Structures are given as C-alpha cells and as structure tokens.
Amino acid sequence: MVTSMPRVSFTPNLRRHLDCPTVDAPGATVRAALENVFAGNPRLRGYLLDEHGCLRRHVTIFVNDAPAADRVTLADPVGEGDDIFVFQALSGG
C-alpha cells in the first residue's frame, strides 16, 4: 500500500529565486510538513519564516482551497493527499 503525504508546492515566482520544487512531505500540520521540506532546503526557512518562526508577512499558505488560519504556529492540520500551496504576495507600482 502506498501512503500519500501532503504535497507542498511553491509558486513559479518563489521557484525563480530558490530551488523549491514540489515535494511530498510527511506531517500532520502545515508546520510539520514545512519542517520536513526545510530539512532538505534550509535556505527556504529564512525566506518563509521570520526570526520567531512565524510566517513572514509577504508569504501566504493555502491548504487545499482555504488559506491557512494559523500564521503564527502553522498548526493547521493536513492529511494524506492534501495540497499545501506556498506563495508570496507581489506588490509594485
């Protein structure tokens, strides 16, 4: 039996600046899944999280079709087959 883990994806804009391909990452929460991604890509942590471990203001995470509710501890639950989508806000003038 094949176990399906949450899938973590990043916008093309993030991938343009960092090596962050879509990966399947084990974890029961957004934080746990991201920690598994960071284990293989430590540079990504500093780009997504601030010095307190909270999601940076310019970063947003969706779990499936809903924005993650917890930007501080990232405790939103995720399960097998869920999609975690990470993107950054774009601004300009």
pLDDT higher than 90, residue 2 = no
Where does the pLDDT of residue 90 fall: very low under 50, low under 70, confident under 90, or very high at 90 and above? low
| Rounded Cα distance, 20 and 14, in Å | 8
Q: Which CATH number fits domain 8-88: 3.30.2420.10, 3.20.20.60, 3.40.50.2000, 3.10.20.30?
A: 3.10.20.30
Cβ atoms of residues 43 and 18 within 8 Å: yes
| Rounded Cα distance, 52 and 68, in Å | 18
Tens of pLDDT, residue by residue over 30-60, are 999 999 999 999 999 999 999 999 999 999 9
Residue 92: predicted pLDDT: 57
Residue 27: predicted pLDDT: 96
